[in-house]
Amino acid sequence: MATTKSTPLSETDLEMLYLIHDAFRRDSERLTRVAEHGVPEDPATHDAVLLGWHGFSTTLHHHHTIEDEMFWPLMRTRLQDEPDDLEVLDAMEAEHALLDPSLAAVEEAFDDREHGPDVLAERLDTVVHTLRSHLAHEEKDALPLMARTITAREVQTLTKDAIRSVSRSELREATPYLFEGAPEDRTRRLLRQLPLPVRLLHRFWWNPQYRRVRRWE
């Protein structure tokens, strides 16, 4: 298999991707609770659940777009003669494509106050199941493949490009979303990988603001 000459990826270089996956797993548990108990009637809790859902679904969508448009294409250029490895990337794209309509179906159920509650639990279960199996598949097959095909420097460049590809308001939401509930040492380590302005904005502005707003329960 073709490999690049410079330093291969370490677990630390991949840690940002694991942080992102862990944020989605955290919310998949919340989605399971909403599926079990339904969306509460009182307007404040209802809005909090919708706001939580919005953060989850938008960040997930951005993350998949970034992988499909930036990470997998670069890996494909190194794997042209490796059909089995290319199949892994095809599977990643196919699984992402499966998730989008399942997110839209939940969105529809939230919007339909009359019939939505009847189908919400089933649709949320589909999202949770599809997401969890996708994350597990990616971590088992695609991330080790990434570690073999692209370098630490390339991941840093892709991360910077990814940050530039989202709008300032999306970044303001996504950054505290991803770090919510993360252990302090991991947060400190990973924040250091972000550009200084993002780090400062997160620490003094975005994160305090994010924490003041009620989400989910």
Which residues of the shown chain bind Fe ion in the complex (CB under 5 A)? 138
CB of 135 to Fe ion, least distance (A): 7
Max alpha carbon distance in the chain (Å)? 59
Q: How many CB atoms lie within 10 A of CB 88?
A: 20
CB of 132 to Fe ion, least distance (A): 12
CB of 70 to Fe ion, least distance (A): 12
Identify which of residues 39 and 60 has a Cβ nearer to Fe ion in the complex.
60
Compute the distance between CA of residue 85 and CA of residue 107 in angstroms, rounded to an integer: 34
Identify which of residues 85 and 138 has a Cβ nearer to Fe ion in the complex.
138
Q: Which residue is nearest to Fe ion (CB)?
A: 138
CA neighbor of 4 nearest in space, from 89, 83, 78, 80: 78
Identify which of residues 13 and 138 has a Cβ nearer to Fe ion in the complex.
138
Identify which of residues 61 and 199 has a Cβ nearer to Fe ion in the complex.
61
CB of 114 to Fe ion, least distance (A): 34
Decide if 92 contacts 138 (C-beta within 8 A).
Answer: yes
Compute φ and ψ for 151, nearest 5 degrees. -95, 165
Compute the distance between CA of residue 65 and CA of residue 68 in angstroms, rounded to an integer: 5
